[in-house]
Amino acid sequence: MIMSNDKSKKLVQLHVNGKTHDATIRSADTLLHTLREQLGLTAAKPACENGDCGACTVIIDGQPMHSCLSLTIETVHQSITTNEGLLDSPLQQAFVDNWAIQCGYCTSGFITNCHALVEQHPDADAALIDEWLASNLCRCTGYQEIKDAVKSVLRMKKDQTSPL
Ligand code: FES
Ligand code: FES
């Protein structure tokens, strides 16, 4: 970490979606705003900015986190994944196939949260899915389509690992 000419700012390196990015930040900057305004990664959405809605969810060292509540400075040595980094995740296609999107504002946060869920809990049951989805709010869709998308990915993963 080195200091920039503006003493209130620091030049740091962030590890996002498998790449290293430079960012010039203040101590109080949130990861949500650093991702969007400095790195041009706008999938994580600002909404409540209070930890209540999950629209800003990213994955930090494997855990879904609200980037509106995460200080950028605290993520310097961590591995960050945004929805832009999940192009290979079957969850994006599953959301499309199951009509789990309407306006789409919440969708990135749901997908990052659900990606961490299926990675950590390939045997997740309905109760665990409900528990994980409680951190994210959607004002448009029924939640059933989102749950269906998650279940379809869990089924697909199970099929891929089952012996013939
Ligand atoms: S914008 Fe972060 S939880 Fe709502
Ligand atoms: S699809 Fe519109 S808020 Fe969720």
Per-residue pLDDT of the chain (164 residues; tens, 9 = 90+): 555 567 789 999 999 999 999 999 999 999 999 999 999 999 999 999 999 999 999 999 999 999 999 999 999 999 999 999 999 899 999 999 999 999 999 999 999 999 999 999 999 999 999 999 999 999 997 799 999 999 999 999 999 887 76
**CATH code for the structural domain at 86-159:** 1.10.150.120
Residue to substitute in 57, 108, 141, 147 for testing ligand 2 pocket (most ligand atoms within 8 angstroms of CB): 141
Tokens representing residue 107 in the block = 């969708």
The class of domain 2-83 in CATH terms is alpha beta
Q: What residue ranges of the chain are covered by domains with CATH 3.10.20.30? A: 2-83
pTM of the model: 0.93
Neighbours of 11 (CB within 10 A): 13
Residue to substitute in 31, 36, 49 for testing ligand 1 pocket (most ligand atoms within 8 angstroms of CB): 49
Buried residues in 41-63 as b, exposed as e (16+ CB within 10 A): bebbbbbebeeebbbbbbbbeee
Q: What residue ranges of the chain are covered by domains with CATH 1.10.150.120? A: 86-159
Q: Among the atoms of ligand 1, which is closest to the Cα of residue 51? A: 3
